[in-house]
Amino acid sequence: MTKRKGILDVQIDVKNLIGEMSISRNPTQKAKDKKPLLSNDSKLITNALEVITRQMKVSGNRSRTINDYILHVEHFQNVTGVKCVSDITADTIYQWLDSMNVSNQTKLTRLKCLKAFLSRCFDNGWIELKFWKTINIKVDQKVKEGATEHEVNVLLSLLDFGNFIHLRDAVAVLVMFKTGIRINTLVQLEEQHIDLKNNVMNLDGSIMKNHQQIKLPFDDFLKKLLKVLIKQNAVIRREYGKENTLIFITKYGDVISNSPTHNNIQKRLNKYSKVYGLKNINPHALRRGFARTLLDKGANVAVISKALGHSDISVTTKYLYLDVDEVANNLRSFLNI
């Protein structure tokens, strides 16, 4: 289809918005009590994996997560020769880990997947003790920085808000930085999720990784940009005959892929990061920046964890890395010394 000249030119004057660009600183049942889903003589790992896979699909787990389970559990079985769930021991797990010629970080990732499989076996009543809890691999944690207000402002100052793609990308950056949502949630946002009257996103569980509903507020500047983007989206969709109500679409009005390698927005953020020398302009860094901003403004970790949609508060603490001097200074202020 031939693109009409000027279709990507934003039809609404957004020049007056540029001056507003600055961002404000301001109890589970015991396993023995559960009815096993497999008979005592058929607790083969292959059967267990089949049952757990079905459970995960019903629960709405992503295909990628399910495939990781299958891949690593089958690899464990091939390496160790263990056939039954009840024959899995700490020794067989260590045997499996020792067989890998990969980094400790990769081993840890695979171990976590096997542990998750074993935890589901325990929940189904096929294993009596969580013997794998003490098995771990030491990995030097690299500190992942969050995006800063300065970096976000620099990027916004370099983008042309009169161009649809730049406008879309700018709004995407601000949404992630100011609400902390994941990019997979971002590309599923629809107009029904945005309450422009009350400046809040009403996110239902269907687009959230943890499947839990949450409400996330946003400021007036982001509200104005969202209004402009929604109107421009309508222009794009009319031109190409598309009928979705998504907030973030391609220049042809189509759905943006969830895949990191095919996600238009993620690829463009990577490009901006390289071209403009902004190392923390990426989806994870923007979420971390959101978390750090909340912490600096006095929010407690429990609230931050809820806002980020984390199921485990320990994950949140990794987002809020504090160096030793910062910890000492904070302790002094609390202890009045």
**What pLDDT, in 10s, does the model give residues 177-232?**
999 999 999 999 999 999 999 999 999 989 988 888 999 999 999 999 999 999 99
pLDDT of 144 reads 73
Q: Is the dihedral of CA 270, 272, 273, 274 positive or negative?
A: positive
Instruction: Give the burial class of 249: count Cβ atoms within 10 A of its Cβ; 0-12 exposed, 13-18 middle, 19 or more buried.
Output: buried
Tell me which residue has tokens 């691999």: 137
Reading across the β-sheet that carries 214-217, which strands appear in turn?
A: 194-195, 200-203, 214-217
State pTM to two decimals.
Answer: 0.64
Rounded Cα distance, 157 and 302, in Å: 34
- Whether the CB-CB separation of 86 and 126 falls below 8 Å is answered with yes
- Whether the CB-CB separation of 137 and 108 falls below 8 Å is answered with yes
Beta strands in the chain (DSSP E): 194-195, 200-203, 214-217
- Whether the CB-CB separation of 271 and 153 falls below 8 Å is answered with no
Structure tokens belonging to residue 292: 């750090």
Does residue 38 register a pLDDT over 60?
no
39 or 109, which is more confident?
A: 109
Does residue 26 register a pLDDT over 70?
no
pLDDT of 71 reads 94
Does residue 152 register a pLDDT over 90?
yes
Tell me which residue has tokens 């983007």: 229
- Mean pLDDT along residues 88-104: 93
- Whether the CB-CB separation of 70 and 53 falls below 8 Å is answered with yes
pLDDT digits (tens, 9 = 90+) for 47-88: 999 999 999 999 888 888 899 999 999 999 999 999 999 999
pLDDT digits (tens, 9 = 90+) for 157-183: 999 999 999 999 999 999 999 999 999
Rounded Cα distance, 280 and 71, in Å: 32
Rounded Cα distance, 79 and 76, in Å: 5
pLDDT band at 33 (very low <50, low <70, confident <90, very high): very low
For a pLDDT cut of 90, what percent of the chain falls above it?
Answer: 58
- Mean pLDDT along residues 296-302: 84
pLDDT of 25 reads 44
Structure tokens belonging to residue 58: 């019903």
* Topology at the third CATH level for domain 31-134: DNA polymerase; domain 1 (1.10.150)
CA–CA distances in Å: residue 18 to residues 12, 13, 14, 73, 161: 13, 10, 7, 52, 8
pLDDT of 245 reads 96
Domain limits, the chain: 31-134, 144-319
The pair phi, psi for residue 162, each rounded to 5°, is -85, -5
pLDDT of 32 reads 42
* Nearest alpha carbon to residue 169 among 7, 8, 5, 3: 8
What CATH code would you report for 144-319?
1.10.443.10
Question: Comparing 15-19, 147-151, 242-246, 298-302, which segment has the lowest mean pLDDT?
Answer: 15-19
